């Protein structure tokens, strides 16, 4: 499996000297799914932020698709981030625009698409997350599960090769959480690499995959039991 993401001796410290983790080494292949686990405060969100270029590591290198993103300048970071799919526990939808406009925002930021093509992609992304025909709805009228689906559609609409999800089911009940996991499995089935941070063991157990477990300032890479060879 070709490596899409490679973490090499990644350290992160916050002043004044608070160490989140040190010498984290891990690799994610093309089309691979990884659970990022660990207790609260272990650094799951921080690691995802480092991979997304939201924060910079104190030491070490992060290669995405062969490119060392720790060397990217502030000007180059937005272009890099346009090729990622980012999903957070809070769907972070813009309340002053429709569902379709929220989903289309990723495409607007990337630019270069004609209106018809953009609308077609938005409709397709909404259909993929089970919100066909809800484009004109207002985010305030969505349930928690629907809002999470809109956030996933927004992350997928631009066709990213790597999706990073930080506790995407944290605010949802068990049934909805499994629905959302189903979407991630579906995304992964299309060959998109996915990292999902979660501490929901029942959810993790339901989908065998690589597990990056953060503990004692280090990451332990393991396979979830039952993971296909």
Partner 1 sequence: MMVPHGLRRLQPGALRALPLADIMLVLVVATALALPALLWTLQDTLGSAMAQRSGGAAVLFLRDDQPDTQREVDAVLRDSEGVQGWDHLSANAARTAFADYLGLSAQDALRDTLDVPATTTVRLDTALAAAAAADMTARWREHPRIDDVWWDRDERDRNLALYALVRNSGYVLTLILLGAGMAIIAGSVGGRLAREQPAIAVMTLLGATDRFIMRPHVLHALLLGGAAAVVAHLLLPLGNAALRAGLAPLEALLALPLTVHAPSGALLLWLYLGAPLLAATTTILVVRWQLQRMRTRSE
Q: Which residue has the tokens 């959302």?
A: 180
Task: Look at residue 104 and give its three-state secondary structure.
Answer: helix
| Per-residue x/- track, 168-207, partner 1 (CB under 8 A) | ----------------------------------------
Q: Is 15 one of the binding residues for partner 1 (CB under 8 A)?
A: no
CB 9 within 8 A of CB 61: yes
| Residue 27 vs 65, nearer CB to partner 1 | 65
Q: Is 52 one of the binding residues for partner 1 (CB under 8 A)?
A: yes
Distance CA 208, CA 192 (A): 16
DSSP state of 121: H
Distance CA 125, CA 33 (A): 20
Q: How far is the CB of 50 from partner 1 (least distance, A)?
A: 12
Q: Is 92 one of the binding residues for partner 1 (CB under 8 A)?
A: yes
Q: Is 136 one of the binding residues for partner 1 (CB under 8 A)?
A: no
| Residue 7 vs 157, nearer CB to partner 1 | 157
Residue-wise burial string across 81-120, b where 16 or more C-beta atoms lie within 10 A, e elsewhere = beebbbbbbebebeeeebbbbbbbbbbeeeeeeeeeebee
Please select the residue that binds partner 1; options are 86, 100, 180, 187, rule is CB under 8 A.
86
Closest to 155 measured CA to CA, from 44, 60, 52: 52
Q: Is 154 one of the binding residues for partner 1 (CB under 8 A)?
A: yes
Please select the residue that binds partner 1; options are 3, 55, 127, 213, rule is CB under 8 A.
55
Residues near partner 1, by CB under 8 A:
52, 54-55, 74, 77-84, 86, 92, 94, 96, 105-106, 108-111, 114-115, 118, 154
């Amino acid at each position: 499996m070709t490596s899409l993401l490679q973490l090499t001796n990644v350290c992160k410290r916050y002043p004044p000297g608070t160490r989140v983790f040190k010498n984290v080494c891990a690799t994610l292949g093309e089309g691979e799914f990884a659970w990022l686990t660990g207790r609260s405060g272990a650094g799951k969100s921080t690691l995802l932020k480092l991979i997304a270029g939201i924060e910079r590591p104190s030491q070490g290198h992060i290669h995405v698709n062969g490119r060392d993103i720790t060397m990217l300048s502030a000007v180059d970071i937005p272009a890099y981030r346009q090729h990622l799919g980012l999903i957070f526990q809070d769907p972070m939808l813009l309340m002053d625009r429709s569902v379709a406009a929220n989903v289309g925002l990723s495409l607007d930021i990337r630019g270069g698409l004609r209106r018809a093509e953009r609308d077609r992609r938005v409709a397709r992304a909404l259909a993929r997350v089970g919100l066909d025909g809800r484009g004109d709805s207002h985010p305030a009228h969505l349930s928690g599960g629907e809002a999470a689906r809109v956030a996933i559609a927004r992350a997928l609409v631009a066709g990213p090769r790597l999706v990073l999800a930080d506790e995407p089911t944290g605010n949802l009940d068990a049934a909805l959480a499994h629905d959302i996991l189903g979407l991630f499995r579906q995304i992964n089935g299309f060959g998109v690499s996915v990292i999902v941070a979660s501490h929901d063991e029942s959810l993790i157990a339901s989908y065998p995959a690589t597990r990056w477990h953060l503990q004692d300032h280090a990451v332990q890479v393991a396979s979830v039991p039952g993971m296909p060879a």
